[in-house]
Amino acid sequence: MTQEEKKSLITRWTLAIVFMGLFWGLIWVITGGRYHSNVSGIHWFLDMHDQSFVKSQREDTTTLADVKVSLLKGADQNEVFGGPGSSMRVPPEGTVPRGYDPYPYSQAEIDQAGAALKNPLPLTAAVLERGQKEYEVYCSVCHGHLGEGDGPVVPRMTAPPSLITGAAKDWQDGKIFHMITMGRGNMLPYAAQIRPADRWAIVHYVRVLQKKGASN
Ligand code: HEC
């Protein structure tokens, strides 16, 4: 190997090492010096990392002061989401949703409900049709299509009472409404599933079933 060849070999190796150094240095910079980590060191593209998210149906309790702190701390330490008012808010105390009528009777106060509540719906064909539809959906599985307490759950479940010959025959409308709203024993409350007006339509329909049952 001549002196010339030796020199060129050294130059090539030097260049190669410098090049590798630069290459891995660049990788190191791009990845932020982290390897096998969920947390990247340097944030090149902030929009994905700094997205403002909050838990669904939750209030974002972040204050403006938190936002400032988080901007200074950097994205990894980010416990801050969208900032105040960016998500659901806790309703002020004592308020109710629009269109919601608070029900004033506890489950045991069925007699009070029976005495005080009157069916606000007129007895029309449309109301009865609605009542029938809702009754078929929600009540007939247990109380039967004609209200005789012989729905398809029998005999797998303790037989539900007949609405035709049982106690409900002599109940005021308000008591039946209360029963649907609050439930009792094996009959769960249907306040969440059936809107108040539909409950009253069911009461009308139950009355029709009772008249039918009595004339049979
Ligand atoms: C899961 C079955 C089931 C469904 C569905 C159901 N009930 Fe009942 N219902 C019962 C049972 C069981 C009782 C007896 C409860 C008790 O006092 O232990 C009852 C009791 C009643 C009573 C009181 C009758 C009495 O003699 O004491 C009325 C009125 C009534 N239900 C109406 C309805 C109406 C209207 C619906 C539809 C909105 C309905 N129920 C849906 C099972 C059911």
Mean pLDDT of 157-165: 93
pLDDT attached to residue 41: 63
Give pLDDT, residue 36.
61
Residue 213 pLDDT grade (very low, low, confident, very high; cuts 50, 70, 90): confident
Kindly tell me if the per-residue pLDDT of 128 is higher than 90. Answer: yes
Fold of 110-215: Cytochrome Bc1 Complex; Chain D, domain 2 (1.10.760)
Ligand 1 mean position, distance from CA 129 (Å):
20
Q: Would the pLDDT of 69 be above 80? A: no
pLDDT at 8 over 80: yes
Which atom of ligand 1 is the closest one to the Cα of 135? 37
How far apart are the CA of 147 and the centre of ligand 1, in A? 10
Overall average pLDDT of the 130-141 stretch:
97
CA distance 87 to 83: 9
pLDDT higher than threshold 60 for residue 179: yes
| 72 CB-near residues (< 8 Å, 6+ apart) | none
Q: Where are the domains of the chain?
A: 1-42, 49-88, 110-215
Average pLDDT over the chain reads 86
Q: What is the mean pLDDT of residues 27-36?
A: 72
Phi and psi for 59 in degrees, rounded to 5?
Answer: -80, 145
**CB distance 186 to 160 below 8 Å:** yes
- Amino acid letter for position 129: E
Taking the centre of ligand 1 as the mean of its atom positions, its distance from the CA of residue 168, in whole angstroms, is 9
Q: Is 195 in the pocket of ligand 1 (CB under 6 A)?
A: no
The pLDDT assigned to 31 comes to 74
pLDDT in tens, 143-159: 999 999 999 999 898 88
CA Rg, the chain, in Å? 36
Give the per-residue pLDDT at 131.
98
Residue 112 CB partners (closer than 8 Å, separation 6+): 105
162 CA to middle of ligand 1, Å? 9
**Is the pTM higher than 0.85?**
no
